[in-house]
Amino acid sequence: MGRPVLAIMRPEGYTDSSEKIAEEIGFIPYSVPVVRLAGMKDDGFDAFADRVMNGRSDYVIFTSANGLDYTLRNVGEENEKKFLDALKKTKIIAIGPNTEKRLEKEGLKTENMPGEYSSAGLVKALSEKVSRKVIDIPRSFYGSDDLPNGLRKAGAEVYETHVYTLEIPEDGEAEELIEKTINGEIQAFAFTSSMMVRNFMKIAENLGEDVNVRAALSEAVVGAIGIPTADTIESFGIRVDVVPENFTFEELLKAIRSRFWKSPEKHSMQNYG
């Protein structure tokens, strides 16, 4: 019994760990980043740092480990310890276990949260606690509005600051990814952000292959890490086969793999032997 080829399109820094997870679960990983992380510092960052360091922020929500990494870059090495010490006096919330682990490496204790790693789950968990509270969210420029809007509806005073952005990598490896997709050489696709979906389809469109890519994906197993990502995929007219109950990369891959046992014959594991 062979192993399906899985397209991993996460940023370059995640390649080694992602491939290891994919191989352990039973895939042949094919990694081509279609998203590149780039730090940024918007007009709201200094006010965010000031609120934290002066004790005016009640909650700080990190939606990813990158949110913390790029926040610390913007704070600067000379102010990092002071900022982290101040952050410890706020209620810190992490979305997902990887974010929580990254925070713990800096000695930051997070609030106990339910297991649903999503903006909707977080809003539901906090809605009765945050009225008139000040909440800061350092995050990606392309983060969904669901989280801040949901918290504002619950009565919170919410501030966002964008500490990193997502771009299309400039190298040409993505062209080979599109070619292999069209040729049916990739049996599974793991989409982990809406920006990843948009970049993937933009690359296909630039090559004049967006129609062929949609057709090819209809013959593959397409997985989305969460509902917002799934909605973005479907906005391109592409069927989503899998959304895991827990929104982590490992759970996404496990859910995708299960489809090769349960799907119609074209997705059966026996076709890869």
Where does CATH 3.40.50.10090 sit in the chain? 5-35+170-272, 38-166
pLDDT class of 273 with cuts at 50, 70, 90: very low
What is the average pLDDT value for the chain, to the nearest integer? 90
Mind listing the pLDDT tens digit for each residue in 86-145? 999 999 999 888 889 999 999 999 987 655 667 777 888 898 999 999 999 999 998 888
Single-letter amino acid, residue 112: N
DSSP 20-44: HHHHHHT-EEEE----EEEE---TT
Mind listing the pLDDT tens digit for each residue in 3-27? 999 999 999 889 999 999 999 999 9
| Cα dihedral 227→174→176→208 (10° resolution) | 80
State yes or no: pLDDT of 154 exceeds 90: yes
3-state SS assignment for residue 94: strand
CATH number of 38-166: 3.40.50.10090
Cα distances from 162 to residues 60, 68, 104, 193, 194, in angstroms, run 13, 11, 22, 16, 17
220: exposed, middle or buried (Cβ count in 10 Å: 0-12, 13-18, 19+): buried
Average pLDDT over residues 180-190: 97
Mind listing the pLDDT tens digit for each residue in 71-85? 999 999 999 999 999
Mind listing the pLDDT tens digit for each residue in 233-252? 999 999 999 999 888 899 99
pLDDT class of 191 with cuts at 50, 70, 90: very high
pLDDT class of 228 with cuts at 50, 70, 90: confident
Matching residue, tokens 């990813």: 64
Q: Which of 237, 70, 251 is nearest to 143 (CA)?
A: 70
Q: What is the DSSP letter of 271?
A: G
Q: Which of 238, 140, 252, 143 is nearest to 192 (CA)?
A: 252
**Amino acid 120: pLDDT:** 77
Positive/negative CA dihedral, 228, 233, 239, 245: negative
Which pairing describes strands 36-39 and 157-167: parallel, antiparallel, or unpaired?
Answer: antiparallel
State yes or no: pLDDT of 267 exceeds 50: no
**Amino acid 262: pLDDT:** 61
Average pLDDT over residues 53-73: 96
Tell me the H-state helices in 89-138. Answer: 97-105, 119-126
pLDDT class of 269 with cuts at 50, 70, 90: very low
CATH number of 5-35+170-272: 3.40.50.10090
- Distance (Å, whole) CA 273 – CA 269: 7
Q: Which of 86, 76, 85 is nearest to 51 (CA)?
A: 86
